[in-house]
Structure 1
Amino acid sequence: MAETRLIQGRYRLLEVIGRGGMGEVWRAVDESLGRRVAVKCLKPMSPERDETFTTVLRERFRREARVAAALQHRGVTVVHDFGEYEGVLYLVMELLEGHNLSQLLEANDQRPLPVHEIVDIAEQVADALAYTHERGIVHRDLKPANIMRLTDGAVKICDFGIARLGEGIGASSQLTGVGIAMGTPHYMSPEQIGGGGPVDHRSDLYSLGCVLYEIATGVPPFDHEDAWSVLVGHRDTTPAPLSDHRDDIPDHFQRIVLDLLAKTPEERPADARDLRRRIAREGRGRAPLPAPSDGSPERGAPGLPGWTRGMTAGHKAVDTALRTVLPDHTAGLTGEWTTLADPRGQAFPVPRARTARPAPALLAALAGRHNAGLSLGRLGRWEEAGEVHRAVAAERQHALGPDHPDTLASRYEVGFSLSRTGRAEDALREFRLVADGRERALGPGHPDTLAARQETAYVLGQLGRHFEANDVYTAVLAARERVMGPDHPDTLRCRHNLAFNLSRLGRLEDSFRLVSEVAEARQRVLGAEHPDTLVTRYEVAYALGRLGRWPQALDIYREVASARTRALGPDHPDTLAARYEAGISLGRLGRSAEALELYRALVDDRARVHGPDDPETLRARHGLGVNLGRLGRWEEALAEARAVAGARERVLGAEHPDTLVSRRETAVGLGWLGRWEEALTLYTQVAAARERVFGPDHPDALASRNDEAHCLEQLGRHTEAVELYRRVAALRERRGTRGA
């Protein structure tokens, strides 16, 4: 490999910049895109290795590399490409400028780092782990050498995916010289050592505790000569308090580290998101930490919001909603375009300087504010995120030009925020402007252009314009398959969305066929319990339900709920959503008593996790009321429907679709109890509201007028009922003609 100097006719190896148990890391140049990269080459297996072993390793590498390549977060090293060349497996990553934590300690003569740096590193790593854990990815080999502190202060975790290669091949390999690490002894969790229980995200939290202990004290929590003593320490010994090594560690931070080092997963913080909140909350609630010695302002200083912690100057903003990172050399350029080639030979324009370069300080400040907006979005604070991105987009447009990738990245996020706050028409306009700008700047087949086009399709679906959405999804899918390949995560996501849209067009068989193919591909590429695989299996169940195949749908919803419980936890919104759909299936199968018990438990869980007035809690209560009615318990069903309708009107508004569903359910209860005059009043009100919201020929509006006509029949007002039925039939015929 060292002699050829060129991999796949594309990656020019320049110099070795690191060696480890898995292989070598080279500084390199991607000659297709003209950017600097790092290339990790795995050691070839020795000839005496069992061929099955080598095959398993190679397949596992490919699977894990695909997973790593799908991770897009400022705290995770970006993976650009992977493959095999002349028998050597390789991984192409972004080239990081900085030092890993092990190197920082070594350069400091193993003296601990300053407190403010430790806390900043802790919060940034916790944020990155929260992102990866929520996607079902556990690192399993977190250690100082796998955490980089960049020159601008940002922190990145390295070797996601590669760290998992040893799973199932040999847990003691690090100690026996096999050469495939399953965790480094000084940072292994007790459950990794014991091998008797599951290893989940809390194992990474334990390893993070070991890392923080070491950078805070200069030594690992169990610093013994032989590996066995280290492992026994992790399993059986309580670590010495950090205060035994230094006296300036705040008490609250010492408690956080020692909680991370708890022997059982249940005693540690629940997850990395909770850990990050705790670091930020407890840090703000106490006296300021010691200031940096160089006089620079402290990130995340008291008085600023928690999401400002970890913001860094000079770090190029990356659009984390996209799956593609622009070439490094485009950063900060201002508007005239030149052309480079992508991996498959397609030319993409990139900016070239045309006027005076904006001040670096301005670009850095805008990058920091862009990242702050991304953080707000991840917290679900979409209104605030949109305000931040709108302001940054305006300033970037003034400084860089309207078609600069950074300007378009901010406008993309504006569209994303609009779509998440119910402003679908505004989001559609924004995404179309971004897609057109990216097509001019980057070309029609560039992944970023395709991402914006795909979001236009998503918003068209939100607006009920499924025929238009179908056309866009189909075009984007063809381009993604051509540029990225059929099994790329972005290609599979587009196929999933197309299948979803087909079901909304009534093409149920086509939707079921396509979504089944995507589920199979995602299972092959990402694994059976990856969150994306489970999302698609959930959609398979939905398609089966629409086809009337409720027993199969129920089985899949239950399998998805169980898998999500293992991968995401019992209280994760996706887990609870699968349980809800299992209840729908039980009701459709006439098993309303089982459905009722499921919904009672689900209402309790939803209320505990999200609150009694959360829309999803109210959705579960609606399901409970429906099944009370199916069991003939109409007085209880009516009371539940009225209560849910009142809560939905208070929380969502009087004419929100969910509120109208509950008001209709109230009318249904009144009808079953023979109170037809009251039912008619409600049916008429719901029909009028649906016509205002959706239009007179929308299926929901037509269904409501049909309900009204049925009620008129029950009251003996047959002439009015017949006239209304005729009007509904005419509207349905007109709608069908227009759709054709």
Structure 2
Amino acid sequence: MADTRLIQSRYRLLDLIGRGGMGEVWRARDESLGRQVAVKCLKPMGPQHDQAFTRILRERFRREARVAAALQHRGVTVVHDFGESDGVLYLVMELLEGRNLSQLLEDNKQHPLPVADVVDIAEQVADALGYTHKQGIVHRDLKPANIMRLDDGAVKICDFGIARLGHDIGFTSRLTGTGIAMGTPHYMSPEQISGGEVDHRSDLYSLGCVLYEIATGVPPFDMDDAWAVLVGHRDTVPEPPRTHRAELPSFFDEVVLDLLAKTPGERPADAGDLRQRISLGRTGEQPEAGGLRLAPPVPVRHPGGRAARLPSWTRNMTTGHKATGAAYPGTAAIDHAALLTGAWTTGTGQVLTGGFPSAGPARPTPSAELLATLAGRHSAGLNLGRLGHWEEAGDVHRAVAADRALALGPDHPDTLASRYEVGFTLSRTGRAADALREFGQVAEGRERALGPDHPETLAARQETAYVLGQLGRHFEAHQVYAAVLASRERSMGPDHPDTLRCRHNLAFNLSRLGRLEDSYRMAREVADARGRLLGETHPDTLVTLYEVAYTLGRLDRWNEALMTYREVAQARAAVLGADHPDTLSARYEVGISLGRLGRSAEALELYSALVEDRTRVGGRADPETLRARHGLGVNLGRMARWEEALAEAREVCALREQTLGPDHPDTLVSRREVAVGLGWLGRWADALTDYRTVAEIRERVLGADHPDTLASRNDEAHCLEQLGRGTEAVDLYRRVADLRRQRAMPPH
């Protein structure tokens, strides 16, 4: 095709005007009719590509052509012809003279468009969507780059390339089951994100996002990270457009917010109603009573009553593009590259999925495109981790690690970097033993490839120490930390940030070994060094200062601990913000210190405010909100307000059991607090039931000789004493004492 530049002896390609990951768009001349057209071509797929994947893309392209060619409306791009020539699929459409909305915003330096233009565009797009929806067609990827404003003021919707026929759901579902993401994050509806049923109301939501952006200059959820955008659509109520731009008419503000309703049933019933509402708003008229309808409700299923998880295809997705200019002045370019989330292939067509292969025969040199793609997916995994989505991040890193192992080799630094992140996600999701094995293998691979003192080798060894600490193997962790620290000091110097991070971790581990004075001294030195090198309010400095305060508390130096925690809380509020999780954590520890010092009234006041802030930030059932409420209840008890303390403990216990499970440590702490309150109120029989329940669960989960289990059995014995059941109490005390002796005895 490139040689003749002629398709089917009819369409002569003149200028390349747009390019996407899998396709190109050309300005062309129809030699038969003597008119200029736009020709969209799917790039030919060579033998190095997975054939099943190629077949899916070809079928989707043909589907686009059939759907688009059936549409005849002034607000939809006209498709003249489609077919296949020399293995290249092509689509011939009218050549539009104008700019898409993305380009208009870019031309305007990302400032919003004039209000009159915004309202006019809204009305014209609503009219076009009304037509397409009546044909049973849902666009599914409406965004500024897919909406053209022609030179004569007309507006056209382009690229029904991922449209969905309402009567053909099963076929579309098969197409979308490949891991190819459908849609662009900044403009996706909550039901698209959560993998629910999608109908015409999803297009209305996307239109709301587009109108919000052209009216204010920014999308409703303007974050750079794809996951943050998706979660914003699903969980966050957008600010009204008029908060960004006061001159917008009030009816427009209401229309956009209705379009952005989280559930389809709360949006306008259809685009026809929407167009009528905009038209009446432009003229200042009011709709007749009952004249406008909301859509019938559609159930949104949230398993277990919780927010629906984002579907698996979002895990590897790129951010996509908000309106920053696009394609070409005719129709939107194919952007399949941004949609690829499934397996990639090697130069031999082998799918890059599965485990981490060992070294084998010489492998073909991977393409620059493949390496760039893997790097992008690796970055996406890192972003998920930064947002705390460790399970999803782990899925991404495992897939990339397997792909890199096949493409580059198991000991290549990039492969090991991905496996390092796999280990990191395992350690953050409670799979410490698996993480230890992963980090150990990464450390061995890096030592072979990079040397024992290389920073990346030391990083992997340091993480093995961290995971050993998670497993309670603090002495082994201490040995690894000490060795890594000696290597870092030798190769990097004592004040290098990585050296200081290792010393911080070593100080933390020393406190877990019971070497509190050594831990305090080292943490204090690290905090001073970080303050000198990074600044007194640097987050790393404050993390170490937080550890200083913790160790002071364990040393029973609570006045100093209180002052240090307050210092950390104030600095974090100034640097990170009052609602940052680290700020709120420091405030919680201030409350702990006040309580330990007998200043319960002050602690109660602090926890009351903290509960309000935690509820506002994280919600009523968030674990940190419940932790703050637990502190509130404890201090109510210290002030002898036992009825209030018992009521608080019961409610927190119920919420923890519902959200965390009956066997979770926090749930058991709350159940014990219920028993304490019952005991202080003289209701010992009821208290015995709760104490015994806690002891039995701990014995089942932790073992009969675990310190927490033994403490619970002691609580049970004390309760039996209060009930006058002295013989049972003595027997239980003796059993606990025997178990403690056995636990303390050295193994044979």
- For Structure 1 versus Structure 2, the TM-score category normalised by the shorter chain is 0.5 to 0.7
Change (3 A) 1:357 1:251: same
Change (3 A) 1:458 1:435: same
Contact 2:650 2:670 in 1 (8 A): yes
Question: Does 2:637 correspond to 1:629?
Answer: yes
Question: Does 2:610 correspond to 1:602?
Answer: yes
Contact 2:461 2:484 in 1 (8 A): yes
Change (3 A) 1:285 1:444: closer
Q: Partner residue of 1:527?
A: 535
Q: Partner residue of 1:466?
A: 474
The higher radius of gyration belongs to 2
C-alpha distance in 2 between matches for 1:421 and 1:525: 33
1:252 paired residue among 188, 194, 213? 213
Cα distance, 1:409 vs structure 2: 1.0
Question: Does 2:722 correspond to 1:714?
Answer: yes
C-alpha distance in 2 between matches for 1:289 and 1:519: 44
The residue type paired with residue 327 of structure 2 is P
The aligned runs of 1:32-71 (5 Å cut-off) are none
Q: Partner residue of 1:646?
A: 654
Question: Does 2:548 correspond to 1:548?
Answer: no
C-alpha distance in 2 between matches for 1:656 and 1:433: 32
C-alpha distance in 2 between matches for 1:256 and 1:533: 38
C-alpha distance in 2 between matches for 1:497 and 1:390: 27
Q: Partner residue of 1:477?
A: 485
Cα distance, 1:729 vs structure 2: 2.4
Q: Partner residue of 2:400?
A: 392
Change (3 A) 1:655 1:558: same
Could you tell me which runs of 5 or more consecutive residues in structure 1 were left unpaired when the two chains were aligned.
1-112, 123-248, 260-268, 309-333, 337-352
DSSP-derived class of the 2:640 partner: coil
Q: Partner residue of 2:148?
A: none
2:415 paired residue among 407, 410, 414? 407
Q: Partner residue of 1:686?
A: 694
Cα distance, 1:484 vs structure 2: 1.3
Q: Partner residue of 2:256?
A: none
C-alpha distance in 2 between matches for 1:413 and 1:541: 30
The aligned runs of 1:513-524 (5 Å cut-off) are 513-524=521-532
Q: Partner residue of 1:538?
A: 546
The aligned runs of 1:91-102 (5 Å cut-off) are none
The residue type paired with residue 453 of structure 1 is R
The aligned runs of 1:237-636 (5 Å cut-off) are 252=213, 255-256=216-217, 277=229, 290-293=325-328, 355-636=363-644
Contact 2:103 2:323 in 1 (8 A): no
Cα distance, 1:274 vs structure 2: 12
Larger mean CA deviation between 536-545 and 703-712 belongs to: 703-712
C-alpha distance in 1 between matches for 2:549 and 2:334: 47
C-alpha distance in 1 between matches for 2:611 and 2:563: 22
Change (3 A) 1:458 1:528: same
Contact 1:115 1:289 in 2 (8 A): no
Contact 2:649 2:670 in 1 (8 A): yes
Contact 1:116 1:292 in 2 (8 A): no
Cα distance, 1:379 vs structure 2: 2.0
Could you tell me which runs of 5 or more consecutive residues in structure 2 were left unpaired when the two chains were aligned.
1-101, 112-209, 242-318, 343-357
Change (3 A) 1:547 1:272: farther
The aligned runs of 1:131-210 (5 Å cut-off) are none
Change (3 A) 1:465 1:275: closer
C-alpha distance in 1 between matches for 2:334 and 2:727: 74
C-alpha distance in 1 between matches for 2:502 and 2:626: 31
The aligned runs of 1:94-133 (5 Å cut-off) are none
Q: Deviations over 1:81-100 (max 9, x none)?
A: xxxxxxxxxxxxxxxxxxxx
Contact 2:226 2:320 in 1 (8 A): no
Cα distance, 1:595 vs structure 2: 0.4
C-alpha distance in 1 between matches for 2:637 and 2:391: 39
Contact 1:495 1:518 in 2 (8 A): yes
Q: Deviations over 1:636-658 (max 9, x none)?
A: 11111111111111111111111
Change (3 A) 1:117 1:486: farther
Contact 1:253 1:279 in 2 (8 A): no
Cα distance, 1:704 vs structure 2: 1.1
Change (3 A) 1:287 1:544: closer
Contact 1:709 1:724 in 2 (8 A): yes
The residue type paired with residue 292 of structure 1 is A
Change (3 A) 1:697 1:296: farther
C-alpha distance in 1 between matches for 2:337 and 2:214: 16
Q: Partner residue of 1:14?
A: none
Cα distance, 1:536 vs structure 2: 0.8
Change (3 A) 1:274 1:360: closer
Q: Deviations over 1:348-398 (max 9, x none)?
A: xxxxx9653223322222222111111221222211111111111112112
Query: Alignment RMSD, CA only?
Result: 3.9
DSSP-derived class of the 1:562 partner: helix
Q: Partner residue of 1:725?
A: 733
Contact 1:418 1:426 in 2 (8 A): yes
Q: Partner residue of 1:735?
A: 743
Cα distance, 1:497 vs structure 2: 1.2
Q: Deviations over 1:285-304 (max 9, x none)?
A: 99976423599998999996
Larger mean CA deviation between 375-384 and 534-543 belongs to: 375-384
Change (3 A) 1:117 1:304: farther
Cα distance, 1:616 vs structure 2: 0.5
Contact 2:106 2:325 in 1 (8 A): no
Q: Deviations over 1:330-355 (max 9, x none)?
A: xxxx979xxxxxxxxxxxxxxxx965
Contact 1:288 1:301 in 2 (8 A): no
The residue type paired with residue 519 of structure 1 is A
Larger mean CA deviation between 720-729 and 627-636 belongs to: 720-729
C-alpha distance in 2 between matches for 1:474 and 1:121: 53
Change (3 A) 1:300 1:732: farther
C-alpha distance in 1 between matches for 2:476 and 2:107: 51
Change (3 A) 1:477 1:299: farther
Contact 2:213 2:219 in 1 (8 A): no
Contact 1:460 1:466 in 2 (8 A): yes
Contact 1:418 1:427 in 2 (8 A): yes
TM-score by length of 2: 0.55
The residue type paired with residue 431 of structure 1 is F
Q: Deviations over 1:415-444 (max 9, x none)?
A: 111222222222222212212221222222
Q: Partner residue of 1:705?
A: 713
Change (3 A) 1:694 1:471: farther
Change (3 A) 1:296 1:552: farther
C-alpha distance in 1 between matches for 2:594 and 2:387: 34
Contact 2:212 2:218 in 1 (8 A): no
DSSP-derived class of the 2:578 partner: coil
